[in-house]
Every structure is written in C-alpha cells, then in structure tokens.
Structure 1
Amino acid sequence: MNRARSSIRHLVNIYRLGVKELWSLWRDPMMLVLIVWVFTGSVYTAATAMPETLHNVPIAIIDEDDSALSQRIVSAFYPPQFIAPRLVSMTEADRGMDAGLYTFSLHLPQGLQRDVLAGRAPQLQLNVDATRMSQAFTGSGNVQQIVLAEVGEFVQRQRVGTAAPVELAVRARFNPALEKSWFGSLNQIINQITLLSIILTGAALLREREHGTIEHLLVMPVTPTEIMLSKIWAMGLVVLAAAALSLNLVVRAMLQVPVQGSLPLFFTGAALCLFATTSMGIFLATLARNMAQFGMLLVLTIMPLQMLSGGTTPRESMPEMVQTIMLAAPTTHFVEIGQAILYRGAGIDVVWQPFLWMALIGAVLFALSLARFRKTIAQMA
C-alpha cells in the first residue's frame, strides 16, 4: 500500500513539474518563435529551395539550324525546371549573360541536323554563368543530358533499322516524379525533431539555473529523477505536437507531399528518439555554465548527428568507420525509421530493430544524464 502511494506521489510530482515547464516555455517568446519557425518556414524552405534543385532557371538558345532536331531540343526545356527558353541571337545572348539575365546560353550551330544524320559529331556550345553556383553546378549536367537524350531519340527514329541492342526501362519507386521537395520536407521534419528536443530541454535546465529556481527545487520533496522526467515529457510533448501539426499542415496540405506509412507508428518512433535526445540535451546543459557555452556544444553535437545519420547522405556512401560509430547515435536509427515508414510505407515487422536500438540507446543516455545531473545538483547543494 505504501509502495503504491509512493508511486502515485512520484507520478503526481512528475506531472506537476512538467506543467511548470510548459508554463515556463509559454512565457519565453523567443523559444515559441523558434518552435513555430522550425516546423513551418524552415520545413517549407528546405522543401522548395534545396540547393541541388533546378527551379525556374533562365536559359537562352541561339538556334542557327532551325531544323526539326533543333526544335526538339528547344522544346525539351520546360517548367518547372527551366523558364521557357528565349530564342535570341549570339549578340543578345552575350549581353544577357553579362547582365545576369540568363544562367545558360546554348548555341545550336547551322547544319546541326545534317551533321548528326551524316554520322559526324557537331559541336554545341553551352555558356554557363558560374556566379550562380548551385544552378550552374547542377544545371550544366542536366542540359547535357537533355540535349544528348533528344539527339539520341531523334537519330534512332530516323534510322529505324539501327535499334539499340538493350533497352533500359527505368521506374522510380516511392517518388515517381522525382520531386526533391518530397525528400526535403520530410527529412527536415526528422532533423528538426532532434534539433528542437535538445535545445528545449537544455535551455529549460539552464533557464532554471540562471533564474535561481533550481535552488527552490532542491529544497522541495522531489528527486532528480522526477525533475529529469518532467522536463523530458513536457519538452517531448511540445516537439511531438509541433511535428504532427507541421507534417499535416505544411507537408501534406501545403506542399502536397504524400505520406506512405502509418503516422502513429512514426510518432511512436519519434517518442523513443525524443527520450534519447532530450536526455542528451540535459547532459549537455550540465556540462555548460551558461547559454553561450550550451550553444557552442550544440554546434559540435547537432551537426554530426544530422550530417552523418543518413538523412543528408546515405550511410552506404560514408566510410565504414563512420557508419560503425554512428550506430551509437539515436538519430541514425530514427532516420532509418522515418524514411522506411514515411517514404516506403514500412510496418513494425520491418523497423522493429531500429526501434529496439533507440530504446537501448535512450536508456543508456538517460542513465548517463541522470548520473551527471545528480552530481551537478550535489555540487550546488
């Protein structure tokens, strides 16, 4: 009976301390602005302004051949990747490039179709404005692929008897139109869940230390475990709610990105990841003396977690040592869960191993953070 009463008292303390954390967050306007921006504007810009994505790229074409082949090439550049091509003269193209009106100018020489059908190799000139770095780097390869594809198809139709010995049929699964916004938006939500959970829990602990309210907690009949759990459930609830609203309102409604799998299963995985990352945030806050030091620790922590977890670059492309080390990070398994569920519609039979790994990593991080938190409180007492 006494044990039951003690358990209920612990739960009540955790609940009330968590409510206190929510009220403290509500009175912090900068944190509220950060939460709103992270799950709205940041997600939208990551989906629509990815550096490697071509969108409304201006291109000028000098068509001196005026043949069926040159017209095919001109018509191959269309929105949304390219603005409708401007047919200009060589002088106008040079002036437009100098004025920054065009990122690309493509010169189709006279006799292009005749030389191609005769088996000769005519030279096409592509001028690139390299000051527009992202468009220039990605777009030059795209322009080359488009031109070569149109020339190859034109020649094959003209020479009926010379069919290619092998025909490759490419089918893109899970993203048939190869829309990069689908990947960018969902991956940004996964990254922001990690980022915000560490910031909120760490800032909550440092805010109490700076305001002196941590001393008030020390004289109250509460334990360090209750204080930690209250911060974890309160900040985790805020992040989960914000992520759910962002996924449904920004990603699915505004960006029209389809979600393949079960959202309850995904947010269950997110809750496990939050248990680990919020514990990590408390651990970092115990190492820092103020918010400035905490911010520096965040830079050293967040960047590797996001860049090496497999969300930006596939883990298979990383060195084997990096892959092995990052298995100890909860974000690696959360990215695997998020991509499997949201992109490919995977069920629990596919992602149970990452779930198990996140639970184990979360338990270890919680134990380490609790030990460090108790040591910090003992030094303050």
Structure 2
Amino acid sequence: MSHMTNGGLLSVAGLRRLRVMTQKELLQLFRDAALMVFFLYSFTGDIYMAASGVSMQLKNAAIATLDGDRSFASRELASRFQPPYFQPAGSVADARQAIRRLDDGDVMAVLDIPPRFQERLQRGEQVSVQLQVDTSNSVLGFLTSSYGAQIVGKYALEAAAQREGLGAAGGIAGPLVEADTRVWYNPNQNDAWFMGISELLTVVTLFSILLPAAAMVREKERGTIEQLMVTPLTSFQILFPKVVAMTLVILAGSAIALFGVLGPLFQLPMRGSLVSFFLITALYVFTTAGLGLLAATVARNLAQVGMLTVVILMPMLLLSGAWTPIEAMPPWMRGLAWISPLHYFLDAAYGILLKGVGMDLLWDSVLAMSVLGVVVFAAGMRRFSRQFG
C-alpha cells in the first residue's frame, strides 16, 4: 500500500511539474512580442498571399505574331491565341525583333507563320508553324508550348476537314473515341486550395523547428538552463513541456489559418475529420520538434538557430513532394524522401482536407511519423542529457 501511494504521489507530482513547465514556456513565448508578431503574420498574411497571389496555371501569357503570309488563314490561326491562356501582344516585323522581345521579357512566346501558309494549306501540303517560347520559367514555358501545340493541332484538323468538304465538325461517319475527363477533389482546379494548404504545412514545419529550438537556446543565453538542471526535473521534464507548449501554439495558429483565412476567404472545403487533422498535426509537430531540439544542442544563440532552421527546412520541403513529384526525383533522392516527416504530413493533410479520407487510409503515414518522432526526439533528449547532464 505504501509503495502504491508513493508511486501515485510521484505520478501526480510528475504531471504537476509538466503542467507548470508548460505554463512557463507559454508565458515566455507570449512575452516575445517580435516572435509573436511574426507567428501571427505567418499563419494569416503569409498564407493569404500564397493562396491569392501564386498560380501554377497559365494565364494571359503575352504572345506576339510574326505573320509572313498576312492571309485570312494566318489571321485566323493567330486569333485562336486568346485569353484566359494567352494575351495578344501585337505583331513583330522580323525574326530579330521577335528574339529581342523574347530576350527583353516583353512576351512569353512568338507565333511565327511562314509565307504561303494559306496557299500550301489549300493545296494539302505540309506546312510548319513555329512557336518560340521563353522557358526561363520552365513551368510556364512548358504550359505555353503545350497549349500552343493544342491550338495549332486543332486548327490543322479543322482546316483539313474543310479542305475535304467534311465541315467544321468533320462529318465523319462511324464510331468515335471521345475522351471524357473527370477532375476529382478540386474540380475547378483552384490554385488557392493547393497553395494555401501547402503554405500552411510549410509554416507549421518552420515553427515546429524554430520555436522549440529558440526556447532551448534562450535558456542557454540567459543562463537558466543550469538552474533547471539542478532542480529535481529530469531531462524529459525539461524538454517535453517545450514541445507541448509549442504544439499548442502551432495548433492554435493552424486553426486561425483554416477558420480565419482559408475557409471563409477561399472556401476550402475541409471534407474530412478536422479532429483527425489536428491530431495528425500535433503528431507532426512532435516529430519535427525533435529536429529543433537537436539544432538547439548545436546552436549557441538565436541567430544560429535561425540559420540551422533554414538548413533543416529546405531539404524537407524539396523532398516532401510538394513542389516536385517523388516519382520525378532521382532514385537516391527518392529514398531520402521517405525519411522526411513532411512527406507523410503532406499526404495526410491533403487527404483529409480535400479528399475526406479517414484513418483507415492514413494509418501508414501516421505510423511513419510516429516512428520518426520517437527516434528524433529520443536523439535530441540524449544529446541534451550528454551536453548538460
């Protein structure tokens, strides 16, 4: 009985220490006005600008025309390049002017129609049309060339059908194959949904590393870490409250971003269970916070924490699959992507918010994050114990 009572008292005392230390961490964080302003801006203004100002689609790409034929057919083809994908930007007199406008960035593309274009079409001869594209931005350049090829290809089919007397629709008798495309989860292909969620996950990752590391280094700078080490607190009771406090703050910031920005301003559907989303977010913060604690054992001041955060954050973003598909990476990078916690968090977040999937499909991502979290946090606590033990 006495042993059970002492164990119960120790358990209660341990929980009380965790609660008090968590309150201390929250108070210290809220007293840092500059950090709180940065935190609030990141979960509001930064996410709003990412959702409203960044588009991965081709819109109003400026295109000039070098018309060497000046016929009805050449004008008809040039007129097909219209908004919302293209924006006509006048004509150029010769090839030198076309290259100069591309070099100056005045236009994204130049449509070069050769002489005798209409005449050769009417004779049924093969005629080539050149589309010169500025691909310094590879994504927009690829979209420009793809859309341009579709427009020219469609015009060529219509011209061939009219020459054969089949009419604009072709008038072909017999079975036809029709491609029926169905877009799932984001039927309007709204960039704001993808970019908003992506920026939210990036901000969560940033503060999951930065806040615990900054809290630990602040203890070093003020000399209070030595005072904590001579108290009855264990290494776990010193480190874990920092993670708990920062997790609560980041969850609050995520709620502000979802219910204050993405939901009301961009109509993000949030189809799945929000409880599952916040639980997985808490697990991800715990996983990533271990990296912050490891950085804190290396850094000596807040400036070094900031630099180490960038060093850790950038590979996580590039290996997550948010900007580059995992399948498009080299084999050795593909292997590294599977040890990036953000890769699993990305799948879970998009799956819950846009697809409405449940834990029955996300259990593997949750399991991977749990394993990574335990390993990384244990490594951080072990290094901390060696450094100050």
Q: TM-score range by the shorter chain?
A: 0.7 to 0.9
User: Are the structure 2 counterparts of residues 302 and 155 from structure 1 closer, same or farther at C-alpha, using a change threshold of 3 Å?
Assistant: same
What is the alpha-carbon distance in structure 1 between the residues aligned to residue 312 and residue 357 of structure 2? 29
The answer on whether the counterparts of 2:217 and 2:301 sit within 8 Å (CA) in structure 1 is yes
2:217 match:
206
Residue 37, structure 1, aligned to residue 41, structure 2: yes
Residue 185, structure 1, aligned to residue 196, structure 2: yes
2:149 match:
144
Residues 133-190 of structure 1 show CA distances to partners (whole Å, capped at 9, x for unaligned) of: 7644542333333332344356553532278964332222222233333322212212
Corresponding residue to 2:252 among 213, 235, 241: 241
**Structure 1 residue 357: deviation in Å?**
2.0
The answer on whether the counterparts of 1:47 and 1:181 sit within 8 Å (CA) in structure 2 is yes
User: Are the structure 2 counterparts of residues 86 and 36 from structure 1 closer, same or farther at C-alpha, using a change threshold of 3 Å?
Assistant: same
What is the alpha-carbon distance in structure 2 between the residues aligned to residue 131 and residue 337 of structure 1? 33
1:376 match:
387
What is the alpha-carbon distance in structure 1 between the residues aligned to residue 89 and residue 173 of structure 2? 34
2:324 match:
313
Corresponding residue to 2:337 among 307, 326, 335: 326
Residues 262-310 of structure 1 show CA distances to partners (whole Å, capped at 9, x for unaligned) of: 2221221111111111122112111222334333432332222111122
Corresponding residue to 2:178 among 163, 167, 171: 167
The answer on whether the counterparts of 1:51 and 1:134 sit within 8 Å (CA) in structure 2 is no
CA RMSD in angstroms, aligned pairs only: 3.2
User: Are the structure 2 counterparts of residues 19 and 190 from structure 1 closer, same or farther at C-alpha, using a change threshold of 3 Å?
Assistant: same
SS at match of 2:61: coil
The answer on whether the counterparts of 1:65 and 1:113 sit within 8 Å (CA) in structure 2 is no
Corresponding residue to 2:279 among 268, 272, 283: 268
Residues 187-212 of structure 1 show CA distances to partners (whole Å, capped at 9, x for unaligned) of: 22122211211011101100111122
SS at match of 2:37: helix
User: Are the structure 2 counterparts of residues 242 and 130 from structure 1 closer, same or farther at C-alpha, using a change threshold of 3 Å?
Assistant: same
1:10 match:
14
Residue 74, structure 1, aligned to residue 79, structure 2: yes
User: Are the structure 2 counterparts of residues 65 and 169 from structure 1 closer, same or farther at C-alpha, using a change threshold of 3 Å?
Assistant: farther
Pick which of 162-171 and 201-210 moved more: 162-171
Q: Which runs of 5+ in 1 are unaligned?
A: none
Corresponding residue to 1:282 among 285, 293, 318: 293
User: Are the structure 2 counterparts of residues 134 and 363 from structure 1 closer, same or farther at C-alpha, using a change threshold of 3 Å?
Assistant: closer
Residues 289-342 of structure 1 show CA distances to partners (whole Å, capped at 9, x for unaligned) of: 233433343233222211112222222333444334433332222122122222
What is the alpha-carbon distance in structure 1 between the residues aligned to residue 140 and residue 328 of structure 2? 24
What is the alpha-carbon distance in structure 2 between the residues aligned to residue 203 and residue 236 of structure 1? 14
SS at match of 1:313: coil
User: Are the structure 2 counterparts of residues 159 and 33 from structure 1 closer, same or farther at C-alpha, using a change threshold of 3 Å?
Assistant: same
Residues 42-74 of structure 1 show CA distances to partners (whole Å, capped at 9, x for unaligned) of: 333433454753334333446765648854762
2:124 match:
119
Pick which of 295-304 and 206-215 moved more: 295-304
Q: Give the total of aligned pairs.
A: 376
The answer on whether the counterparts of 1:69 and 1:151 sit within 8 Å (CA) in structure 2 is no
1:53 match:
57
What is the alpha-carbon distance in structure 2 between the residues aligned to residue 98 and residue 219 of structure 1? 66
One-letter amino acid of the counterpart of residue 318, structure 1? M
User: Are the structure 2 counterparts of residues 86 and 357 from structure 1 closer, same or farther at C-alpha, using a change threshold of 3 Å?
Assistant: closer
Residue 343, structure 1, aligned to residue 347, structure 2: no
2:231 match:
220
The answer on whether the counterparts of 1:103 and 1:132 sit within 8 Å (CA) in structure 2 is no
What is the alpha-carbon distance in structure 2 between the residues aligned to residue 224 and residue 40 of structure 1? 35
Pick which of 64-73 and 365-374 moved more: 64-73
One-letter amino acid of the counterpart of residue 141, structure 1? S
The answer on whether the counterparts of 1:284 and 1:297 sit within 8 Å (CA) in structure 2 is yes
1:358 match:
369
User: Are the structure 2 counterparts of residues 70 and 252 from structure 1 closer, same or farther at C-alpha, using a change threshold of 3 Å?
Assistant: farther
* TM-score of the superposed pair, with normalisation by structure 2: 0.83
**Structure 1 residue 107: deviation in Å?**
4.6
Residue 298, structure 1, aligned to residue 296, structure 2: no
One-letter amino acid of the counterpart of residue 147, structure 2? N
What is the alpha-carbon distance in structure 2 between the residues aligned to residue 217 and residue 153 of structure 1? 79
User: Are the structure 2 counterparts of residues 35 and 194 from structure 1 closer, same or farther at C-alpha, using a change threshold of 3 Å?
Assistant: same
Residues 12-41 of structure 1 show CA distances to partners (whole Å, capped at 9, x for unaligned) of: 222222222222222223322332333234
Q: Which runs of 5+ in 2 are unaligned?
A: 162-167
One-letter amino acid of the counterpart of residue 304, structure 1? P
What is the alpha-carbon distance in structure 2 between the residues aligned to residue 247 and residue 54 of structure 1? 27
The answer on whether the counterparts of 2:272 and 2:352 sit within 8 Å (CA) in structure 1 is yes
User: Are the structure 2 counterparts of residues 263 and 163 from structure 1 closer, same or farther at C-alpha, using a change threshold of 3 Å?
Assistant: farther
Identity of matched residues, %: 34
What is the alpha-carbon distance in structure 1 between the residues aligned to residue 134 and residue 337 of structure 2? 39
What is the alpha-carbon distance in structure 2 between the residues aligned to residue 193 and residue 311 of structure 1? 14
SS at match of 1:40: helix
Q: Which has the larger radius of gyration?
A: 2
SS at match of 1:146: helix
